Structure 1
Amino acid sequence: MTARDVWRGWTRPAGPAVAPLGERDRRLLRTELVIVFSVTLGLSGVRSLVSLLDALSSPVPLDQRTTAIDETLARNPWADLAAQLAGSFVLVAWGCLGLYLLVRAGAGPRAIGLDGRRPGRDALGAVGLTALIGIPGLGLYLAARALGLNTTVIPSLLDQYWWTVPVLVVSACANAWAEEVLVVGYLLHALRRLGVSENRALAISAVLRGSYHLYQGFGGGLGNLLMGLVFGRVWQRTGRLWPLVGAHALLDVIAFVGSALLRGALPFLPA
């Protein structure tokens, strides 16, 4: 097999055949997609774009601004703990909404690769994707920041309590679950049912993923768009979503917990 054969196999995925929808069902599914993403990650994308435009209108350059992902939400530690868990619960509920709608459509978890048939291979896939995305992603972030195209991203600004690390792990897993179920499993499966080509569907999914990270700057948007292209194509080729959820969770755990434990120790993690 030549390199050209590998490239063709990667860029021309053979998605499973799906039953064509009638015109009424197509309209309902399109409406469903608009509603779901209007109250979840699509709305986050709009807010993120507004945040970026506001930052660009400020006299303070992007590379001199900081952006925190997880930060303190209440003065009282117990109230803060409750607020953090509530935020994670919302993300878990978003993912469950996408999964529920798939079940209502007759698909279910197995259709998007959320079953337990291959735990070992899924775990290895998650570790491999973590390395594939994590190292280049850090390099892209540092390059964008050096070029003045990104804010300084601080994954965690939570105060240090006994619950800080467990809450960050929960937050990482909740982010991974919501994003991968909605932006990959639910969205790409729905676009397949609508007859959208695999490459076009992949582009839509990746642009959506990049959009709700624009609050970090252009580097955050571009980095997550590229991550979306890789993750979406892996799902289109394998039909397995657990490796994506696992890799995303590992990446966020490393970023969130590492930021909390090493704050000020590394040049790109300010105190």
Structure 2
Amino acid sequence: MAESIPHEEVSRRVLRSETLLVLALSLGASGVSALISFIGSLTKPGGLKDQAATLNGSYAPGRPWLDLAWQLFGIASALVPVALVAHLLIREGAGLRTLGLDRARPWPDLGRGTLVAAGIGSAGLAFYLVARAAGFNLTVVPESLPDVWWKFPVLILSALQNSLVEEVIVVGYLLRRLGQLGWTPMAALVASSVLRGSYHLYQGIGGFIGNLVMGVVFVLLYRRWGRVGPLVVAHALLDIGAFVGYALLAGEVDWLPTP
């Protein structure tokens, strides 16, 4: 007769497998992709700052309606892991509300998120400019979309998608699961922050370090507030500022690097 496995051990095994699968379908895979991209940039002739990393580019140049369809498909499909996390939490008897993603405290979430975005945004931009000048970062091109009517709505939707995927999975979901698996708070903080840095590695060493530090700050704020809502707001505002700001300022000011 086969030896029975304790229920707690089975549960831990299921949670471990679930967490790995969620990451493999989302930001864990992005981390591997970013590492491969970074290796390619390092081994390419020329310095990192002479290469470009484009965040929002055209999928069908010269065909705006087809391009729009691809843009919307990409945004929608990227949100599937968030829907999966919500489903898994509901099966657990919880839901996204347990992560603090609901409409219970809209104004505090908005206010806190705005303050966080203001602080991190200015420091992050300064760090990027220094890292690129030192040769540790590629030239980040937040957008290279054609000048069509849907350009800015798509950039805003892309920013919202990024914020939901990253904060729900890398902060709320991952910290919850690692806690259930018995990880210490410090180990979980390191894992979450390193993961955040890893999938920004395609931007260069500066992108990795800057986002790792941002990851530490976001984990500490999440533990203080018990809500990912303010972090989603902050991340969305940061990305909207980067995407829309670049679209408006690229080529118009001397201090903003362009390819």
1:218 aligns with 2:224: no
Aligned match of 2:258: 270
Report the residue type matching 2:114 in the other structure.
Answer: V
The one of 157, 161, 186 aligned to 1:170: 157
- Aligned equivalents of 1:117 and 1:231: distance in 2? 20
- Aligned equivalents of 2:52 and 2:122: distance in 1? 22
* Contact 1:259-1:269 within 8 A present in 2 as well: no
- Aligned equivalents of 1:102 and 1:229: distance in 2? 24
Report the residue type matching 1:240 in the other structure.
Answer: R
1:96 aligns with 2:83: yes
- Aligned equivalents of 2:154 and 2:169: distance in 1? 22
Aligned match of 2:17: 31
Aligned match of 1:144: 131
Aligned match of 1:256: 243
Aligned match of 1:132: 119
Where 2:55 maps in the other structure, the secondary structure is strand
Identity %: 47
* Contact 1:64-1:152 within 8 A present in 2 as well: yes
Matches within 5 A, 1:1-271: 22-75=8-61, 76-266=63-253, 267-270=255-258
For residue 259 of structure 1, report the CA deviation from its aligned partner. Answer: 1.1
Report the residue type matching 1:58 in the other structure.
Answer: K
- Aligned equivalents of 1:98 and 1:175: distance in 2? 15
For residue 110 of structure 1, report the CA deviation from its aligned partner. Answer: 2.0
Where 1:156 maps in the other structure, the secondary structure is coil
For residue 97 of structure 1, report the CA deviation from its aligned partner. Answer: 1.4
For residue 101 of structure 1, report the CA deviation from its aligned partner. Answer: 1.3
- Aligned equivalents of 1:128 and 1:223: distance in 2? 18
* Contact 1:95-1:179 within 8 A present in 2 as well: no
- Aligned equivalents of 2:87 and 2:211: distance in 1? 26
Q: TM-score, normalised by structure 2?
A: 0.94
Report the residue type matching 2:121 in the other structure.
Answer: G
**Structure 1 runs, 4 residues or longer, greater than 6 Å off:** none
* Contact 2:25-2:81 within 8 A present in 1 as well: no
Report the residue type matching 1:268 in the other structure.
Answer: L
- Aligned equivalents of 2:97 and 2:156: distance in 1? 26
Where 1:22 maps in the other structure, the secondary structure is helix
Superposed CA RMSD: 1.2
- Aligned equivalents of 2:17 and 2:113: distance in 1? 33
For residue 24 of structure 1, report the CA deviation from its aligned partner. Answer: 0.6
For residue 125 of structure 1, report the CA deviation from its aligned partner. Answer: 0.6
Q: TM-score, normalised by structure 1?
A: 0.90
Give aligned pairs, total. 251
- Aligned equivalents of 1:205 and 1:173: distance in 2? 20
For residue 180 of structure 1, report the CA deviation from its aligned partner. Answer: 0.6
For residue 128 of structure 1, report the CA deviation from its aligned partner. Answer: 1.0
Where 1:178 maps in the other structure, the secondary structure is helix
Report the residue type matching 1:79 in the other structure.
Answer: L
For residue 61 of structure 1, report the CA deviation from its aligned partner. Answer: 0.7
Report the residue type matching 1:34 in the other structure.
Answer: L
Unaligned runs of 5+ in 2: 1-6
For residue 115 of structure 1, report the CA deviation from its aligned partner. Answer: 2.2
* Contact 1:235-1:241 within 8 A present in 2 as well: yes
Report the residue type matching 2:258 in the other structure.
Answer: P
Report the residue type matching 2:256 in the other structure.
Answer: F
For residue 205 of structure 1, report the CA deviation from its aligned partner. Answer: 0.5
For residue 270 of structure 1, report the CA deviation from its aligned partner. Answer: 2.1
